[in-house]
Amino acid sequence: MDFIAHALWMYIIFYNKPYLLLAIFFGIFPDLVTFTMNFFNTLATRKYRRFNFKDPETILPHLPKYIFMLYKITHSLVIFLIAFAVVNLVTRQTPFYMLAWLLHIVIDIPTHTKKFFPVHFLYPISNYAVDGFAWANKKFLVMNYIFILIFLLLRILSII
């Protein structure tokens, strides 16, 4: 799923929680860590001119190798569980806001194909990935944002 949709879903899910901003941060954390540095480098060097945004798979050969490793690490349930446990042990409090990171991974598993950033959710134990459907599919994007708008409206009206 795209970065903005992740943030909006976390807003909807963690609405009225005292840790809302932390939850939104952790909801976008996997993509933030993976793509931010390269995003600014791409803008600065104007590499985006080479990309065919109508076919996202054509972007893959232009990305540095470290992005794929960061993606595996930040989209791993194993890594998440270790990080969650460490924070829990160190702070002696359950970091509920970090569950947004878990939700990010769970949402991404079925919304990524094996061709475009597959989610190796058992990494480093396994490189297994589900061949889901593309989140960038226009029908999915439209439906996703329709649901986001409906749930945002319901939250704003305090119905849910």
Q: Which pLDDT band holds residue 41 (cuts at 50, 70, 90)?
A: confident
User: For residues 60 and 50, is the Cβ–Cβ distance under 8 A?
Assistant: no
Q: Report in angstroms the alpha-carbon separations of 40 from 32, 116, 126.
A: 12, 21, 31
Number of other CB atoms surrounding residue 122 within 10 Å: 13
Cα torsion 84, 90, 91, 93: sign: positive
Is the Cβ–Cβ distance between 23 and 97 less than 8 Å?
yes
- Look up the pTM and report it: 0.89
Q: Which of 39, 12, 42 is nearest to 24 (CA)?
A: 12
Structure tokens at 2: 């795209």
The share of the chain scoring above pLDDT 70, in percent, equals: 89
Q: Quick: pLDDT tens for 102-137.
A: 999 999 999 999 999 999 999 999 999 999 999 989
